[in-house]
Amino acid sequence: MSNPAERAEKLTDALRESGIRLTRQRRLLLDIVSRSDDHPDAVELHRRATDQMPGISLSTVYRTLSALEEHGVVQRHQFQNDTARFEPADGAHHDHMIDLDSGEVVEFHSDQIERLQSELAAEAGYEIVAHRMELYVRKIDKEG
């Protein structure tokens, strides 16, 4: 939908309008998260941030990620037995497959599943506020 640079810019604009104070730390983290496509966790984001801002604290990373999440520009995912992972929240909704061997996270989407989920909820008298679907997978072995 957008390259990392405009993605970060778009998110910065969204933030400025929401009245949140744009500190150096927040700008940096927003930029780093926007450019990431690998669902990093807080410690990894702190590591990346430290390259450009040596003194930044892990607390600030956590606080900033929570703030960015509240303002809807970042999404948090809590996969099984793992630390929370983050990604920019600009794209369309999608779910995740986690490769158990490599740890790689693959994104996917199925309109059909989403529709069925809504129907099943409706049948039970509910509307869906949020959902989570994760497939823990292994590469299919092509060898004999």
Partner DNA sequence: AACCAGTTGCGAACGATTTGCAAGTACGTC
Partner DNA sequence: GACGTACTTGCAAATCGTTCGCAACTGGTT
Q: Name the binding residues for Fe cation.
A: 93, 95, 114, 131
List 85's β-bridge partners, or say none.
41, 77
CB of residue 100 to a second copy, shortest distance in Å = 6
Residue 110 binds which of DNA, a second copy, Zn ion, none (CB < 5-8 A, kind-dependent): a second copy
Residue 128 binds which of DNA, Mn ion, a second copy, none (CB < 5-8 A, kind-dependent): a second copy
- Residues 46, 107: Cα–Cα separation, whole Å: 24
**Of 76, 5, 91, which is closest to residue 41 (Cα–Cα)?**
76
CB of residue 144 to Mn ion, shortest distance in Å = 34
Q: Is 95 in the site for Zn ion (CB under 5 A)?
A: yes
- Within 8 A by CB and 6+ apart from 85, the residues are 39, 40, 41, 76, 77, 78, 79, 105
CB of residue 84 to Mn ion, shortest distance in Å = 13
Nearest to DNA of 64, 88 (CB atom)? 64
Q: If you search the block for the tokens 């690998």, which residue do you land on?
A: 38
List 74's β-bridge partners, or say none.
88
Where along the sequence are the contacts to DNA (CB under 7 A)? 16, 20-26, 41-43, 53, 55-60, 62-64, 66-67, 78, 83-84
